[in-house]
């Protein structure tokens, strides 16, 4: 009954979506605002309908309805309730419903705003949003149905079907297969929702961009309307990437956070174009430039969002042949191709109308440096995209699947990322319109001295790797420039009104939250860079089998194996837990408890490291193997990961900076200007 209710809600939502698309188009064509309002109500209705469908899945998961194939595949009786609920996005069909539910929530939220000033955008935003939603709903209904049930035929065969087959009866497994142990980590509970929030949020700016192209609004109104949507999308996507890295660091057991896996890169690519877009829209707002480029970036971001959603759920690149047999793959790529071609066609129609109002007059101006920043982001995108699709291309033309490993990405992207750090330091110091070497030199010499002092300290500490020195210097320069910018603003504010330091800082943030929140984001990115340099350049490791009381050394650290306990838990796990003592320079610094959990329901293990973490380094211990009978010996693998904690702290700084940047600002656009654009649009 509940499965039928959830499935019926999906069917009804698809029908409502098609109605909304049709009503918006007919209302626009026949100039009937009532029909457009009806389409708006249809889009609002999709959210409660999909909420009903999602709640139906959650109910089935929570109450062990193993006759539903999706429930049997991602849950078991031994799983705690919070994992059963989050199993909604633990499998492909459930995650697609979750994606659609988020999409409907965001699209509904957009339609609730006041549209008096931008009425011409409304029908097209509805159409674009509902087409995207309808595509994912169709996938659920016709390809990946989460409400499919298990049926036992008279022959004894068990099949999956939504409707009862002839002679069939419902099949009730005694238990489910359980969620993959790797997905039971808190990071993976939060990581997919953050990624999906970032993905669906980027659909909104794209919808407004298409509305602007269709209606001929060549001003920056669509950008102003979607600025905070873009910031939120970027924040969620960044957090999704960071949480994914933290999950890999805590669970996968290889001592790292990023392996240049195709699924990781799938989420990274729209982040690259989204970040470039956030920078380039400022040029359009300030200087009336890069209108064409911004449209290209948002179209690319939308296409990569759909592509990334596909890759993060399908595992397509694990086997090219599996992709060829998958029904979902061709549908995804057909949708990407159609929407991309239509978007580019609309852009070409408005290409001349989107020409810049001003020209770049200096290669050292802020807009020129921002454009260079964009090109570097696109360079990294090209490297990543090529690396992801190369296995498909190689097998298509040679019959052999050739994968691309981390060295390719690191060598190709390393110089590009160093260039981004340099621009992050220099661009905020450049003026709009025109800058010179002299003005930039006067602005940057003090931060450069501060960064040089840090570099000297690093060299004195024994660092000789030239790439590490360059990375640390550039990250330090970004932080020094940003702090100097804050200092100048605070001092100017204090001189103007005599306020104290804290009050001046607060007023600075209130006056221009977008700028100074962005500076905090720059600091967070520099902190992430320091963490990346530390672990990538200086990670060391060793492995050994120890008897109780024996030790293993790595650099300044010594680890002593104390004891091992093997036991069963109430949630159907077999746990092997070691106790090790850690010493640094011969002094005790604490105990760690690396363990290996074996889940009986899924018949899979999960490795949990023991980690001692400081700003200087992480000491990371893995329990690899042990003697189950005597428990007198165990094999450990240990890593020394310098500076990696800077990454995790930097992510918190990033959240604060983005929240400040997204703080509402007063509208600056005037009514006469909007009227002029409407006249221009009508002329087109």
> How sure is the predictor about 320, in pLDDT bands with cuts at 50, 70 and 90?
very low
Q: What is the pLDDT of residue 671?
A: 41
**pLDDT score at 629:** 60
H/E segment holding residue 158: strand 158-161
Question: How far is the C-alpha of 228 from the C-alpha of 129, rounded, in Å?
Answer: 18
Average pLDDT of every residue of the chain? 88
Worst-scoring range by mean pLDDT, 326-330, 354-358, 586-590, 664-668?
A: 664-668
> How many CB atoms within 10 Å of residue 155?
7
pLDDT of 324 > 60? The answer is no
What is the band of 316 on the pLDDT scale with cuts at 50, 70, 90? low
User: What pLDDT shows up at residue 311?
Assistant: 75
Give the SS3 label for residue 667: coil
pLDDT 10s digits, 160-200: 888 888 888 999 999 998 888 888 877 778 888 898 999 99
Which pLDDT score, from 0 to 100, does residue 321 have?
31
pLDDT band (50, 70, 90) for residue 674: very low
State the Cα torsion 558-561-562-568 to the nearest 10°: 140
- Tens digits of per-residue pLDDT, 266-310? 889 999 999 999 999 988 888 888 899 999 999 999 999 998 887
pLDDT at 507: 83
Kindly state the average pLDDT of the residues 441-461.
93
> Once rounded to an integer, what is the mean pLDDT over residues 538-550?
93
Q: Tell me, letter by letter, the H, E, C secondary structure of 341-407.
A: HHHHHHHHHCCHHHCCCCCCCCCCCHHHHHHHHHHHHHHHHHHHHHHHHHHHHHHHHHCCCCCCCHH
Whole-model pTM: value is 0.89
Per the CB < 8 A criterion, the answer to whether 353 and 212 are in contact is no
5-14, 218-227, 396-405, 655-664: which range is least confident on average?
A: 396-405
Q: Which of 292, 208, 102, 242 is nearest to 658 (CA)?
A: 242
Considering only residues 511 and 618, tell me which one the structure prediction assigns the higher pLDDT. Answer: 618
Measure the N-to-C terminal CA separation of the chain; round to a whole number of Å: 54
Q: State what percent of residues in the chain have pLDDT above 70.
A: 94
Predicted confidence (pLDDT) at residue 87 exceeds the cutoff of 60: yes
Extended beta strands in 513-629, E state = 540-547, 551-554, 557-568, 573-584, 587-592, 595-599, 604-608, 610-613, 617-626
Judged by average pLDDT, the poorest of 112-116, 182-186, 405-409, 629-633 is: 629-633
Give the per-residue pLDDT at 664.
67
| Euclidean distance between CA atoms 95 and 91, whole angstroms | 6
For residue 670, the model assigns a pLDDT of 42
Closest CA to 272 of 367, 407, 383, 191: 383
Q: Report the range of poorest mean pLDDT among 316-325, 489-498, 556-565.
A: 316-325
**Percentage of residues in the chain with pLDDT exceeding 90?**
56
Is residue 101 pLDDT above 60, yes or no?
yes
pLDDT band, residue 383 (cuts 50/70/90): very high
Residue found under tokens 């992430």? 528
Cβ density class 6-42: b for 16+ within 10 Å, e for less = bbebbebbbebbbbbbebbbebbeeeeeebbbbbbeb
How does pLDDT run across 489-533, given as a tens digit for each residue? 888 888 888 788 888 888 888 888 888 888 999 999 999 999 999
Burial of 292 (0-12, 13-18, 19+ CB in 10 A): middle
pLDDT of 684 higher than 50: no
Report whether pLDDT(450) > 90.
yes
Provide the pLDDT for residue 327.
67
């Amino acid at each position: 009954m509940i499965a039928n209710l959830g499935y019926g809600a999906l069917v009804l939502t698809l029908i409502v979506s098609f109605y909304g698309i049709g009503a918006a188009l007919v209302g626009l064509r026949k100039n009937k605002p009532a029909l457009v309002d009806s389409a708006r109500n249809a889009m609002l209705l999709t959210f409660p309908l999909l909420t009903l469908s999602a709640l139906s899945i959650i109910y089935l998961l929570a109450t062990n309805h193993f006759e539903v194939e999706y429930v049997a595949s991602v849950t078991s009786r031994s799983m705690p309730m919070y994992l059963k609920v989050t199993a909604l996005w633990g499998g492909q069909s459930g995650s697609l419903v979750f994606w659609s539910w988020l999409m409907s929530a965001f699209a509904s939220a957009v339609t609730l705003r006041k549209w008096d000033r931008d009425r011409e955008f409304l029908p097209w935003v509805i159409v674009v949003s509902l087409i995207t939603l309808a595509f994912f709903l169709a996938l659920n209904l016709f390809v990946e149905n989460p409400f499919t049930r298990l049926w036992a035929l008279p022959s004894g065969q068990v099949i999956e079907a939504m409707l009862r087959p002839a002679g069939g009866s419902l099949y009730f497994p005694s238990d489910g297969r359980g969620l993959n142990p790797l997905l039971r980590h808190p990071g993976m509970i939060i990581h997919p929702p953050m990624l999906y929030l970032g993905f669906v949020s980027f659909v909104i700016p794209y919808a407004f961009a298409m509305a602007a192209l269709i209606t001929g609004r060549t001003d920056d109104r669509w950008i102003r309307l979607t600025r905070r949507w873009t910031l939120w999308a970027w924040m969620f996507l960044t957090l999704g990437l960071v949480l994914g890295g933290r999950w890999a660091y805590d669970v996968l057991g290889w001592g790292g956070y990023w392996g240049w896996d195709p699924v990781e890169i799938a989420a990274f690519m729209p982040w690259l174009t989204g970040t470039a877009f956030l920078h380039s829209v400022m040029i359009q707002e300030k200087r009336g430039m890069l209108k064409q480029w911004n449209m290209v970036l948002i179209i690319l971001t939308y296409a990569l969002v759909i592509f990334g959603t596909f890759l993060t759920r399908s595992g397509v690149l694990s086997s090219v042949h599996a992709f060829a047999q998958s029904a979902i793959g061709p549908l995804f790529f057909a949708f990407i191709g159609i929407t991309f071609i239509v978007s580019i066609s609309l852009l070409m129609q408005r290409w001349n109308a989107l020409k810049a109002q001003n020209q770049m007059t200096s290669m050292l101006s802020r807009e020129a440096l921002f454009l260079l920043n964009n090109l570097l982001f696109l360079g990294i995108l090209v490297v990543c995209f090529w690396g992801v699709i190369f296995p498909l291309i190689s097998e298509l033309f040679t019959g052999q699947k050739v994968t691309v490993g981390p060295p390719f990405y690191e060598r190709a992207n390393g110089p590009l990322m160093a260039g981004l750090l340099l621009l992050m330091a220099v661009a905020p110091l450049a003026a709009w319109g025109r800058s010179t070497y002299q003005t930039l030199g006067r602005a940057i010499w003090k931060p450069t001295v501060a960064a040089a002092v840090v570099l000297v300290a690093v060299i004195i500490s024994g660092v000789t790797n030239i790439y590490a020195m360059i990375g640390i210097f550039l990250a330090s320069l970004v932080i020094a420039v940003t702090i100097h910018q804050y200092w100048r603003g605070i001092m100017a504010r204090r001189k103007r009104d005599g306020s104290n330091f804290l009050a001046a800082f607060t007023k600075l943030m209130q006056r221009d939250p977008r700028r100074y929140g962005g500076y905090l984001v720059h600091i967070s990115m520099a902190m992430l860079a320091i963490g990346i340099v530390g672990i990538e350049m200086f990670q060391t490791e060793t492995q050994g089998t120890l008897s109780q009381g024996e030790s293993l050394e790595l650099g300044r650290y010594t680890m002593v194996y104390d004891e091992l306990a093997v036991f069963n838990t109430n949630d159907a796990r077999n746990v092997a837990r070691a106790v090790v003592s850690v010493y640094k320079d011969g002094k005790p610094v604490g105990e760690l408890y690396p363990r290996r959990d074996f889940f009986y329901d899924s018949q899979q293990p999960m490795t949990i490291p023991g980690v001692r973490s400081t700003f200087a380094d992480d000491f990371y211990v893995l329990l690899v193997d042990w003697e189950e009978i005597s428990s007198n010996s165990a094999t450990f693998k240990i890593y020394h990961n310098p500076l990696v904690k800077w990454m995790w702290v930097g992510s918190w700084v990033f959240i604060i900076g983005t929240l400040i940047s997204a703080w509402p600002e007063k509208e600056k656009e005037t009514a006469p200007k909007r009227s002029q654009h409407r006249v221009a649009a009508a002329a087109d």
